[in-house]
A and B are shown apart, each in its own frame.
Chain A
């Protein structure tokens, strides 16, 4: 149990376009989901905390207008990278909380050309 999926697993886009990444908890309801960003050979950096039905809470230094987060249901949160640029290329990982535990998705590799 406690499976989290992400879609797509890999995406390549042109600079200036927007990309949407989905995070789903498949077998449980998650009131809170988290979005992380990970650069090569680096640790996970929390971007924002997403609560169902309310606005996301962004970490310091993360642009909320650039990284739009929507948490419309207890099983789905989406991250939209708007007007993507090459520096947005990264590995984006979501997690969904079930009580105190967080279960992580497999990640989405974003490459912006």
Chain B
């Protein structure tokens, strides 16, 4: 079946360091992946996305890497700031045409001052 999971439930980093959040997915037919940030008591906030025909995509301070060979997705945050503290979810679009998203279990990022 389809599933998306994360390797680390909690990640603690020093302010200013780079953060790497990982995600594994099982559906090799998925063609679209998204990273979301969720702060406590709020809805998910879009960070960055990537299509399956790409290996890497960069945004402002964030980079998403996609390794289709091992079905692995990662989010890199450069110069992590206290405002980056949140739970991060990866999501993949299912193989049907409904645009449904399948969410991973989430990683909590804690930024130490």
Distance A104 CA – B43 CA, assembled complex (angstroms): 6
Instruction: List the A side residues contacting B43 at CB < 8 Å.
Output: 4, 6, 93, 95, 104-107
Distance A102 CA – B100 CA, assembled complex (angstroms): 9
Instruction: List the B side residues contacting A97 at CB < 8 Å.
Output: 99
Contact of B98 among A45, A49, A107 (CB under 8 A): A49
Q: Binary interface profile of B, 44-68, with partner A (CB < 8 Å = 1, else 0)?
A: 1110010000000000000000000
The smallest C-beta distance from B80 to any residue of chain A, in angstroms, reads: 21
Instruction: List the B side residues contacting A104 at CB < 8 Å.
Output: 36, 43-46
If A44-B89, A100-B32, A100-B93 touch, does A106 touch B42 (CB 8 Å cutoff)?
A: yes
B102's nearest neighbour on chain A, judged by CB, is A46
Q: Binary interface profile of A, 73-104, with partner B (CB < 8 Å = 1, else 0)?
A: 00000000000000000010101010011111
Known: A4-B43, A44-B103, A104-B43. 7 other contacts (CB 8 A): A6-B43, A34-B100, A43-B105, A43-B106, A97-B99, A100-B99, A104-B46
Chain A residues packing against B (C-beta within 8 Å) = 4, 6, 32, 34, 42-46, 49, 57, 91, 93, 95, 97, 100-107, 109
9 contacts between A and B (CB under 8 A): A43-B89, A43-B103, A43-B105, A43-B106, A45-B103, A49-B100, A95-B43, A104-B43, A106-B42
